[in-house]
A and B are shown apart, each in its own frame.
Chain A
Amino acid sequence: EPEVTQTPSHQVTQMGQEVILRCVPISNHLYFYWYRQILGQKVEFLVSFYNNEISEKSEIFDDQFSVERPDGSNFTLKIRSTKLEDSAMYFCASEDRFPYEQYFGPGTRLTVT
């Protein structure tokens, strides 16, 4: 069964460093998402991406964040200058058209020290 994959599974970085989280969505899907989950808190929407552009973003998704689909298979989330509060599990998700069911990857645990 097709699945969303994410790399790395765990990333440790120092405050102020740039990180890139990578995702390979399900191959025929059209819509792509990033969510995050701070330990003990709800899963929160960050950004959605369709037709090579951002279609929606949350208040969390400020100028420090960017997304890209550099080729036909990868979808990346870049954090330019990481802060301690960026420590969280980051989930990538993808979906096809109707019924618009989102499929999530296993997540990347980002630890900022």
Chain B
Amino acid sequence: KQEVTQIPAALSVPEGENLVLNCSFTDSAIYNLQWFRQDPGKGLTSLLLIQSSQREQTSGRLNASLDKSSGRSTLYIAASQPGDSATYLCAVRVGDGSEKLVFGKGTKLTVNP
């Protein structure tokens, strides 16, 4: 059974700092991995999608990497801003024909001005 873990559970940084959020999964047989942003009481916004054959994806100040063999992904946020404050969720689409996403519990990020 696929399990997704995100460390740390919470992170507080000063504005302008570069930071890394970590995601690990137990079964390396994944189809793809998505990073989401969730604001309090709101829905999930897809940030980046990495296919299992890819090593990284970039969107603006965000860069996500994937090391499928070791069951790890990282989300790098450059030059953090207060508007980046949110919970970041990692989710893997399990392989073997399943369509579901399995989520981690998220990392709550606070960027202080």
Residues of A at the B interface (CB closer than 8 Å) are 31, 33, 35, 41-45, 48, 50, 55-56, 58, 91, 99-107, 109
Contacts and interface: CB of A to CB of B under 8 A. Distances in A.
A106 B43 contact: yes
Interface of B: 31-32, 34, 36, 41-46, 49, 51, 89, 91, 93, 98-106
Given A101-B49, A105-B43, A48 B105 contact: no
A94 to B, nearest CB: 12
A42 B9 CA distance: 12
Contacts of B44: 43, 91, 104
Contacts, number: 54
28 contacts: A31-B99, A33-B100, A41-B105, A42-B105, A42-B106, A43-B91, A43-B101, A45-B100, A48-B99, A48-B100, A55-B99, A56-B100, A91-B43, A91-B44, A99-B32, A99-B51, A100-B31, A101-B46, A101-B49, A102-B34, A102-B46, A103-B46, A104-B36, A104-B43, A104-B44, A104-B45, A104-B46, A106-B43
